[in-house]
Amino acid sequence: MGQLTGKTALVTGASTGIGLATAERFIAEGARVYLTGRRKQSLEAAVQALGDRAIAIQNDVSDLDDLDRLFRRIADDGNRLDILFANAGGGEADQPLESLTPEAFDHTFGINVRGTAFTVQKALPLLNDGGSIVLTGSSSASRGVVGFGVYSATKAALRQFGRVWAAELAPRGLRVNTVVPGPTDTPGLRGLAKNPGQADAMLDGMAGSTPLGRAADPAEIANAVLFLASDQSSFITGSELFVDGGEVQVYP
């Protein structure tokens, strides 16, 4: 018996990186997992690797009609949800105030804030009382990193949403927590490098901001998400769990 045996989870942004690692961890603990992402080929590869307890649904969280289709599909399958990991998100590294455009602002807020808010809202009718909602934050929300103003602002917004939702959903026994990764070696983070040859150097530079002196493996973040999703954290809600190698707590 795994920690999630008999449970059904939805992981958004699950085709690579932290989302994929978390889906794999959930399945290893006995869950059935719906995975979403925008890239069909990556999703299909993920499901092939994860096996028959993984179900892929191509989805863009910034598209509300697409979100409706997602939850209608889960309902049509006859399933309800015990766990929602609202992980889909993204952003660009080089968005300083002087060159920020309305289009870039709207795009990042549309995915990270609007997309997450309405993912959680539209999931509520399918979520079983006593279930768990986990949001993906970022250590950048607690630091002043040049060029990350919009991205870090979206993650700070999610932090506050998590606190408010924890209060609003407590009567249903739904817990809402935020996992806060630091630098993590994912395709998404590597994609922020100006060219692929600079990705290792960029990660090494980010690793220097942590006392542990390295970037996280996505599986290390997935372990923390499992804790927040499982009954092991049954008296934890409205919290932020920093999985950042000490970046924020030791080097604020």
Closest CA to 163 of 171, 151, 175, 153: 175
Dihedral angle sign, alpha carbons of residues 122, 6, 222, 164 = positive
Q: Is 34 a catalytic residue?
A: no
> What does DSSP say about strands 127-136 and 175-181: parallel, antiparallel, or unpaired?
parallel
- Report the distance separating Cα 160 and Cα 137, nearest Å: 10
Exactly one of 34, 151, 165, 242 is catalytic; name it: 151
Q: Which residues are catalytic?
A: 151
